[in-house]
Every structure is written in structure tokens, then in C-alpha cells.
């Protein structure tokens, strides 16, 4: 069983763009099951695509199973009825200490939201956020991509 150990933050300032240095990668994802306890999604970052199943959250950890699937299959799934809204974002990968911070700039109905997440090798791994990261939102469900598909950021009353 694979385990995802992740912390998620709001991004405070555009200083992260200096650290990024490279263009991001467009990702589109749709949800076949939005949990809880399980989330099932299809993600496309052309020319690749994946089917991902995520289990219940325990602290900052959860089971995660991810499988590559043919791009044509992923496109067909995202175009099918019942998938609902598609979450679109540009993902930037930024090295920080011995880890990688992934900054997601959301598009479409989630435009204006910028989140950062860092995957850790263990739940007790120390992480010292750079100054451009703000409030930790790891445990706030509304910032989960599966929730953003159902209730986009632009509809929030903040």
C-alpha cells in the first residue's frame, strides 16, 4: 500500500515564482467519487494520465493508489456524464531543502486560488516553510481538490 503524507498551505506572495524558475504543467482532473472516505479521480497532464484512489485521512497521511492509464481513456472518462466539474490548474515544482513544494495555480471556476503542498517521507519529518507560504490548510476540507470540483473557490463567501 502506498501512503501519501502531505501538508497543504495557502500561498502568501508571488515570491515563489522566483524559486520556481520553470513553467508549470497544466493538469486537468475529474472525480468519479468525491469521498469521504474514498476519493477516485482521473488526472491528465499530457501526454500522461492516471487513475488515483485515495483513502481516508489519518492526521496528514492517507492511503493512495495511483495507476497510469491511456490518455484516450482518461479523456473519454473526463468527457463522460457524471464526472461533474473538472478542476484545472498549473502545477509548479519548487525544490526546498531536501523536499519539493508543489504550487498549484488554479484556473477556471477556482481562479484566484494558489495552494502549495509538500509530500513528506514520514509524518514526523520536519518541514520549515519558506516565507512565501501562509496558513496551513491541511485539515480544511474545502481546500481539497475533490471539494473544489463540487464547490469552486469563486463561489465561496470567504
Select which of 9, 31, 143, 153 is catalytic. 31
Distance CA(97)–CA(151), nearest Å, equals 34
User: Known catalytic residue: 31?
Assistant: yes
Distance CA(120)–CA(60), nearest Å, equals 9
Helix (H) or strand (E) holding 65, with range, is strand 61-68
The residues carrying an active-site annotation are 31
Amino acid at each position: 500500500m502506498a501512503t501519501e503524507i502531505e501538508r497543504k498551505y495557502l500561498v502568501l506572495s508571488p515570491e515563489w515564482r522566483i524559486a520556481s524558475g520553470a513553467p508549470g504543467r497544466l493538469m486537468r482532473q475529474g472525480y468519479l467519487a468525491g469521498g469521504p472516505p474514498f476519493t477516485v479521480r482521473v488526472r491528465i497532464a499530457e501526454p500522461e494520465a492516471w487513475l488515483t484512489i485515495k483513502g481516508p485521512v489519518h492526521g496528514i497521511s492517507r492511503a493512495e493508489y495511483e495507476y497510469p492509464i491511456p490518455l484516450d481513456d482518461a479523456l473519454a472518462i473526463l468527457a463522460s456524464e457524471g464526472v461533474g466539474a473538472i478542476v484545472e490548474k498549473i502545477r509548479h515544482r519548487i525544490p526546498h531543502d531536501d523536499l519539493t513544494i508543489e504550487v498549484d495555480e488554479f484556473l477556471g471556476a477556482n481562479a484566484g486560488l494558489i495552494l502549495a503542498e509538500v509530500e513528506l517521507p514520514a509524518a514526523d519529518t520536519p518541514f520549515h516553510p519558506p516565507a512565501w507560504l501562509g496558513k496551513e490548510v491541511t485539515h480544511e476540507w474545502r481546500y481539497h481538490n475533490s471539494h473544489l470540483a463540487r464547490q469552486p473557490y469563486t463561489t465561496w463567501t470567504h
